Amino acid sequence: MFITVDGKKTELSEGTSISELRETQTSDFMYALVNGRHEESDYVLSDGDTIHIVKKGCSDEETSEHSLIQRYSVEKFEKISKARIGIAGLGGIGSHVAVSLVRAGIRDLVIADFDCVDITNLSRQNYSMK
């Protein structure tokens, strides 16, 4: 059977599990996302599966995308990642909303706030711009 491991087409024997695949990979293998979902090590791979290997101590954009696909679905992730959202005011609520949107997978934020962070509103701020 043929599967795709981190973008490379790979041939494996029928009935191969994630734990058996792990033995052929590098020692920093932490877990595998199969078709965008986290699966246990005893999961048996199928022909056409797409696997992304998450490595220890390595957090890159591709891993983040696979994690977001796992959370939503491919279709929802594509919609979310193409969205453009504007936020006017990054005070007590706006700064938290901006962080939440980025964590949710929004890539294109337009943010505007001309207020300055000072001692009177410091407790409500997540960050500041100069």
Residue 71, C-beta contacts closer than 8 angstroms, at least 6 positions apart: none
pLDDT at 81: 84
pLDDT at 2: 92
Domain spans in the chain, listed from the N-terminal domain onward: 2-72, 83-124
pLDDT at 34: 87
pTM over 0.75: no
Chunk the chain into consecutive blocks of 10 residues (it has 130) and report each block's average pLDDT, rounded to whole numbers. 87 89 77 81 90 72 68 79 90 84 87 78 62
pLDDT at 70: 67
Residue 15, Cα to own-chain centre: how many angstroms?
Answer: 28
pLDDT at 117: 67
Asked if 48 contacts 14 with a C-beta cutoff of 8 angstroms, the reply is: no
Asked if 44 contacts 3 with a C-beta cutoff of 8 angstroms, the reply is: no
The SS3 assignment for 67 reads helix
What CATH number was assigned to the domain covering residues 2-72? 3.10.20.30
| Three-class HEC string of 94-128 | HHHHHHHHHHHCCCEEEEECCCCCCCCCHHHCCCC
